[in-house]
Structure 1
Amino acid sequence: MSTSRVLSAMIPDSKLAREVTQLIRDTESELLFSHSTRVYLWGALLGKQQGLAFDPELLYVAAMFHDIGLTSKYRESQLRFEVDGANAARDFLRSHNLSEDDVDKVWTAVALHTTPGIPEHMHGEIALVQAGAGMDVAGRGFEDFTDEQRDAVIAAYPRDPDFAAKMIDAFYHGMKHRPGSTFGTFNDDFLAYKDPSFERVNLCSIILNSSWKR
């Protein structure tokens, strides 16, 4: 079977998956929708390659929701955009009567997808959303995929020629109204890159100027 046919077969063909596909397609830009689908495919390919246990349907839902917090729907939110996405995924899954264990896996996968050093030690769905996002945005793990796999994924869900700049813009516009939510993450890099007046919070200064006197 060709790699392209294998990719098509990898995307879950369930009522839940079809509904989440339509929801995200109706909510996100083509840039984010295609990115989210590629995140699933990179993650699923890597999971199969490494022999990780994961539920394809849960991985798909998590991948599709992972950046919804960057959309205009959340322009008034002061939460981390990852938490907005995790909460949206949780509401969606609960409305479909999934178990709380499955809901928790997806919530955590979305909430931690920008947190390095932790997801890779957790359930497969959680580890693979982060791995897929890292591959698609920054090329992390690029050499873990064959040329045929990379070409097939991009052919099925094309990567915008100006993807890097547009993705940075998407992050910036999704977080510029809630700069405090980027503290302690690398998300403040997007604000600093796009806004020269942005001032990062320094944890050492917070500690040294806290209410503790000794």
Structure 2
Amino acid sequence: MRLADIPAPDSVAARAALELATEYHTPALLNHVLRSWLWAEGFATVEGLHGIDRELLYVSAVLHDIGIVPAFDNHTLAYEDAGGHVAKALTAGAGWPAARRTRAHEVIVRHNWPEVDPAFDPEGHLLEIATGLDISGARPDALPLEFRREVVTAFPRLTLAAEFTACVTDQAERKPDTAAQRIVAGGVAGKLQRNPLESLG
């Protein structure tokens, strides 16, 4: 399993998602969403999941945290819900049919679920466990060490721990009925600091 074996989709939606994420994310958050996509692809391989919509997975991964940036922050919606709506708008512009646009929204929302059944939503499952690894350090040994090291070297963690903690804490304080509150109450700050990925790269 190598980075060279996981090319980004070459499509209008994929390129637009990356362009949007690059413009609005800090370097640390941009690296986080790109690592999350790569972890998701890695988990698809180790779990033997077939028939994955890889363009959908990429777009959803790259945009999954766009709802926490100031330009797209919604004063009432959970940040993952707001980000899902950004993905729906972007993919509409790329010509995706309504049902597939809805899938992008669903995958982004479900990345913050405690668990997603792969039989119910394989792309949502992959993004949920991928972000679980990158943020909380969940299942750190499920992917090969050399692959983890290669990804973290190519996309360093930088100040992710401090930035994400601040962002999700702000979301939890302003929107206490959303998943952000559960994430903060679950000790995300400590999990980020203790994440085994911090020692790679």
1:122 to 103, 120, 129: 120
- Structure with the greater alpha carbon radius of gyration: 1
Give the alignment's Cα RMSD to 1 decimal.
Answer: 2.4
Aligned to 1:41: 38
How does the TM-score come out when normalised to structure 2? 0.83
Residue 3 (structure 1) aligned with residue 27 (structure 2): no
Residues 3/192 of structure 1: CA separation in 2 closer, same or farther (3 Å cut):
closer
163, 167, 170: which one pairs with 1:170?
167
| Structure 1 residue 4: Cα displacement | 3.5
Cα deviation 1:58-100 (Å, max 9, x = unaligned): 1010001111111112445211111101111111111212122
In structure 2, the CA distance between the partners of 1:172 and 1:97, relative to structure 1 (3 Å rule), is same
Q: Secondary structure in 1 aligned to 2:141?
A: helix
User: Is the partner of 1:116 in helix, strand or coil?
Assistant: coil
Unaligned runs of 5+ in 1: 194-214
Flag structure 2 segments of 5+ consecutive residues without an equivalent: 190-201
Aligned to 1:105: 103
- 1:150-169 correspondence to structure 2 within 5 Å: 150-160=148-158, 162-169=159-166
Identity %: 23
Which of the numbers 71, 78, 81 marks the counterpart of 2:79? 81
The residue type equivalent to 1:88 in the other structure is V
Match of 1:206 in 2: none
Q: Quick check: 1:81–1:175 contact (8 Å CA) kept in 2?
A: no
Contact 2:117-2:125 at 8 Å conserved across structures: yes
Cα deviation for residue 192 of structure 1 reads 11
Q: How far is the alpha carbon of 1:17 from its aligned partner?
A: 1.3
What CA distance in whole angstroms lies between the structure 1 residues aligned with 2:3 and 2:39?
A: 13
Where does residue 19 of structure 2 map in the other structure? 22
- Of residues 23-32 and 169-178 in structure 1, the stretch that sits farther from structure 2 once superposed is 169-178
Task: Mark the CA change 1:75 to 1:91 in structure 2 (over 3 Å): closer, same or farther.
Answer: closer
TM-score (norm. length: structure 1)? 0.78
Answer yes or no: is the 8 Å Cα contact 2:12–2:94 preserved in 1: no
- Cα 1:6–1:114 change in 2 (3 A) is same
SS in 2 for 1:127: helix
The CA deviation at 1:182 is 4.7
Q: Aligned partners of 1:146, 1:135: CA distance in 2, in Å?
A: 13
Q: Measure the CA separation in 2 of the matches of 1:137 and 1:72.
A: 20
Name the aligned partner's letter for residue 14 of structure 2.
A
- Could you tell me which of 89, 92, 95 is aligned with 2:93? 95
AA in 1 matched with 2:106: T
Moved >6 Å (runs of 4+)? 190-193
* Worse-matched range after superposition: 145-154 or 11-20: 11-20
The amino acid of 2:17's aligned partner reads V
Deviation at 1:5, TM superposition (A): 2.0
SS at match of 2:4: helix
1:51 lines up with 2:48 in the alignment: yes
